[in-house]
Amino acid sequence: MAKVRSFNDTSSVSLAYAISDNAAREDFNPKAPMSIVPFTTESFSMQKEAQQSTAITGNRRSRGSKNTRGSANGGVTVEFGSTPFCLDMLALSMLNVWTDVEAGNPAAGQFITDGEIKRYAVWEKTIRQGTQATDRLDHEVYYGNIVNEATMEFGDAELITLALTTIGAYADYTNALAGADNLGGSLASAKVPFEDYEIADSSNNLANIEIRDADGALMEVTFSDASLAISNNAREQTGLSHEFAAGIGIGKVGVTFSGTIYYFNQAALDAHMKNKRMSVKFNISTEQGTFVFHLPNLMAQSPTSNAEGENADYTTAITLVAEEGEVTIGGEVVNCVLAIEHVPTP
């Protein structure tokens, strides 16, 4: 007898991660605890390159094609806030670790700068078929993922988001019945749920974005939208006898702060034309803690102001490219392209 079928909804998909440089399932023995991440979009996928046989066979029909080298790339977008998984996402993006502002006193705050520590994560995407122990769980696991790009978006009256794209070293998939622990077939020994947190938005939680000129004077600037982008210029290092990447390389760190500002004067244009340095600082504060972002040494690229129609605001699109500079944190001078402080709420 035929029965009505019901296909999967996106709410049946969950993502969990663990920070680890292990590159295959057999390396996780014993299994690792993983943290569940709430996400708005994800793009994890494994695939192989298709190669078409060019052999001439005496007729016009192709034969002998196959899929060869694999790739395991992905991405995830989360809603930003002062929560452990966002701190981990920033650490993975910055290729560094959080450091106490006051040694041995995490309550006084931590900071992180762009670094050169090759930090990897394993991501497990699980699709459940139901809520019972006898229902099947399908798992896709992506190993050795390094963050290639991270982007924070500040939209007008929007929730602040952090989007990561990753390059992975290997991937596999499996399935099993959920079982009593609802982990059937999972790489994880346990999946830790996330705690509720205040999601930051660009109206209530983002403090005024301060841009200062080369003399340290505050510039008259109001943004209508903005974004902070971090690029590690990661790449797959392919090699013979490897089904997936033989290694993952990273290049120079690239950081940009871009957006649209309401026109006030020619200060941005003047900074661009005369190669003047600028700096940016902004805060994001929620119930759980406060972030302070520092970009100490910026160059303005191609500020563009055009009137494109009647009854419209006259604005300037601007991109600020970060270079190495100095930030004072906890009384110490730190060299960086980007520095982020985080102070948890007592």
In this structure, which long-range contacts are made by residues 26-29, counting pairs with CB atoms below 8 Å and at least 24 apart in sequence?
28/122, 28/187
pLDDT at 260: 93
Q: How far is CA 5 from CA 2, 8, 129, 134, 199, in A?
A: 9, 10, 12, 18, 37
Residue 301, pLDDT above cutoff 90: no
pLDDT tens-digit readout, 238-267: 999 999 999 999 999 999 999 999 988 888
Average of per-residue pLDDT across 58-81: 94
How far apart are the C-alpha atoms of 190 and 34, rounded to whole Å? 6
Confidence (pLDDT) at 5: 85
Helix (H) or strand (E) holding 272: helix 267-273
Confidence grade of residue 11 (pLDDT, cut at 50, 70, 90): very high
Give the model confidence (pLDDT) of 97-139 as tens digits: 999 999 888 889 999 999 999 999 999 999 999 999 999 999 9
Cβ-Cβ contacts under 8 Å for 230 (sequence gap 6 or more): 93, 94, 114, 147, 149, 150, 151, 253, 254, 255, 338
Q: Which residues pair with 333 in a beta bridge?
A: 328
Q: What is the pLDDT of residue 272?
A: 80
Residue type, 34: M
d(CA 143, CA 169): 6
pLDDT at 267: 80
The region that residue 344 occupies, defined by phi over 0 for left and psi between -120 and 50 for alpha, beta otherwise, is: beta
Give the span between the Cα atoms of 293 and 82, in whole angstroms.
13
Percentage of residues of the chain with pLDDT beyond 90: 80
Report CA torsion sign: 44, 16, 242, 116. positive
Strand partners for 294: 281, 339
**What count of Cα atoms within 13 Å lies in the side-chain half-sphere of residue 207?**
13
Distance from the first to the final alpha carbon of the chain? 61
- Round to whole Å and give the CA distance between 121 and 21: 7
Q: Identify the three-state secondary structure at position 18.
A: strand
Report for 140-144, 215-219, 272-276: range of highest mean pLDDT: 140-144
Per-residue pLDDT averaged across 75-81, rounded?
Answer: 98
How far is the C-alpha of 31 from the C-alpha of 34, rounded, in Å?
9
- The predicted-structure confidence for 337-346, as pLDDT tens digits, reads as follows 999 999 999 8
Strands 161-168 and 170-177: unpaired
| SS (HEC) of 176-208 | EECCCCCCCCCCEEEEECCCCCCCCECCCCECC
Q: Where does the pLDDT of residue 192 fall: very low under 50, low under 70, confident under 90, or very high at 90 and above?
A: very high
Mean per-residue pLDDT of the chain: 94
Q: Is 83 exposed, middle or buried (0-12, 13-18, 19+ CB in 10 A)?
A: buried
Contact in structure between 17 and 119 (CB atoms under 8 Å): no
**What is the value of pTM for the model shown?**
0.94
